Amino acid sequence: MLRPPPEHRLADTLRALTFSRHDPCARITAGTFWWAARTPAGPATLALRRDGGDLRAEGYGPGAAWALDRADAIAGLRDDVTGFAALAAGHPVVARLAERHRGLRMPATGLVFRHLLRAVLEQKVTGTEAYRGYAAMVRHFAEPAPGPTPALLLPPDPAAVAATPYWVFHPFGVEQRRAETLRRVAALADRLDRSADAAEATRRMTAVPGIGPWTAAEVVRAAYGDPDAVSVGDYHVPNTVAWALAGEPRADDARMLALLEPFRGHRGRVCVLLAASGVQAPRHGPRLPLRSFAAF
């Protein structure tokens, strides 16, 4: 049983670990968060649910003890917000969002490869395309997760991904470039998952061809709860930050980082708060079209 602070918002915190509400490996159903994982101790399913003012954690499978030991981190309860209130007070928008979302925490799963799967599939495509590829890949390697939820599946086994020819991913809508990147990181999954912290994981990931700062930031924010990870190279985030903090509808990465500099140590947290609030810069031009590499 875990004891979160009264303001803790479980569903909002854990939503960062789900790839849409239809994620085959993680979902929130009837107030319970079900999360399937390949842990260092073996496959596991973690269930988190409110029990009055407490948070009940239940584990299933060979890796249950590992998952339960990290349940508080996965629920965002190890997220250290020390000093953020003082930084947030320096900007009226950030101060307002920090107060409105003060129960939102950053989860930390401790698993790098699990989040690399999603981040690589999100490279240079729309969210819908990325989710379609992710869901198709999970179902291709389908392995039921331990526990009482039959529809829940484990993330793909890294060894199986590494051994799969790139063209097998083509019907999932994943072209050769991303497929080869997936195969490379899958072959290094054990080493990546043994990274001591976000900095070491970032160094190891960005040494792999196909992994840049954007992908690394997306991963360490979920795997380590890194509050300073900024997704440099994102299509939307620079504009969102510039619009929210300076009223500027367009910005590049350099301008975004300059605006976030006063919040160093919590720059990623500012971006998380902006996303949670639905802040968006005015749109100019058409949306990116949906494509299907499977049809090429």
Classify 112-211 by CATH class: mainly alpha
The Cα–Cα gap between 186 and 163 comes to: 9
Q: Which pLDDT score is estimated for 290?
A: 46
Helix, strand, coil abundance in the chain, percent, nearest 5: 45, 10, 40
Kindly give, in sequence order, each residue whose CB lies less than 8 Å from that of residue 284, ignoring residues fewer than 6 positions away. Answer: 249, 250
CA 264 to chain centre: 20
Domain ranges for the chain, please list them: 112-211, 237-276
Q: Which residue has the tokens 């490279």?
A: 123
Predicted confidence (pLDDT) at residue 98 exceeds the cutoff of 60: yes
Q: Which pLDDT score is estimated for 283?
A: 80
Query: Tell me, what DSSP letter sits at residue 152?
Result: -
Q: What's this model's pTM, rounded to 2 decimal places?
A: 0.92
Q: What's the pLDDT tens digit per position in 262-284?
A: 999 999 999 999 999 999 899 86
Predicted confidence (pLDDT) at residue 295 exceeds the cutoff of 90: no
Structure-token pair, residue 11? 């569903």
Q: What's the pLDDT tens digit per position in 179-236?
A: 999 999 999 999 999 999 999 999 999 999 999 999 999 999 999 999 999 999 998 9
Q: What's the pLDDT tens digit per position in 118-155?
A: 999 999 899 999 999 999 999 999 999 999 998 999 99
Cross-strand pairs, 144? 153
Q: Which pLDDT score is estimated for 296?
A: 46
SS3 letters across 13-71: HHHHHCCCCCCCCEEEECCEEEEEEEECCEEEEEEEEEECCEEEEEEECCCHHHHHHCH
